[in-house]
Amino acid sequence: MEDYIQISKINDFIFCPYSIYLHSVYDDFSVKTYHRTAQTVGRLAHEAVDNRTYTTAKNVLQGLEVCSERLGIMGKIDTFDIKSGLLVERKYKVKTIFDGYKYQLYAQMVCLREMGYEVKSLAIQSLADNKRYKIAIPDEEEMNHFLSLVEKMKKYRPEIPRPVNENKCLQCVYQPLCH
């Protein structure tokens, strides 16, 4: 399983591939070492799902570990309604639908389908303002973008020089550990 890509890292990789390396280096330390408030709140928002306390509906799977051997990816879903086929990823507060958010859902969808579930629709739930954003099932072109990103993640090596984007670095939680 070591070579499997973690679905939760997709958004970070799009933000900056080097942040994945830094995350892996500091993974064993307390999250307080580098997590800022927004990230910590987001993590807490996921805990209800991870602890399977979000819903008691029998047809809703929550916090299920999923995996695709075909793509070499693994992770956890937030909620999947077996009856309706709706897969939902919860975020603390969504202002913009980043590609990374969509790709996380695509990754979960691929895993669930490979595991035999019928995924019919996708959505992102913004918890702070209780908004739900529908995400279209990816067409072939969109799926190819996603697949090429997974390939890039597999091939990434931290020794490769990283492009520095000052705006991103200023917002980056790993900034004190980088450079």
Residues that bind ligand SF4 (CB under 6 A): 16, 18-19, 22, 162, 164, 168-169, 172, 174-175, 178
**Residue nearer to ligand SF4 on the CB measure, 14 or 143:** 14
How far is CA 97 from each of CA 89, 102, 121, 135, rounded to the nearest angstrom?
12, 7, 16, 9
Rounded distance between C-alpha atoms, residue 177 and residue 171, angstroms: 13
Rounded distance between C-alpha atoms, residue 94 and residue 117, angstroms: 27
**Residue nearer to ligand SF4 on the CB measure, 131 or 168:** 168
Tell me how far, at minimum, the Cβ of 12 lies from ligand SF4, in Å: 9
Tell me how far, at minimum, the Cβ of 31 lies from ligand SF4, in Å: 16
Are 83 and 38 within 8 A, CB to CB?
no
Tell me how far, at minimum, the Cβ of 136 lies from ligand SF4, in Å: 29
**Residue nearer to ligand SF4 on the CB measure, 6 or 125:** 6
In this structure, the dihedral spanned by the alpha carbons of residues 95, 131, 7 and 32, taken in order and rounded to 10 degrees, is: 70
Tell me how far, at minimum, the Cβ of 101 lies from ligand SF4, in Å: 18
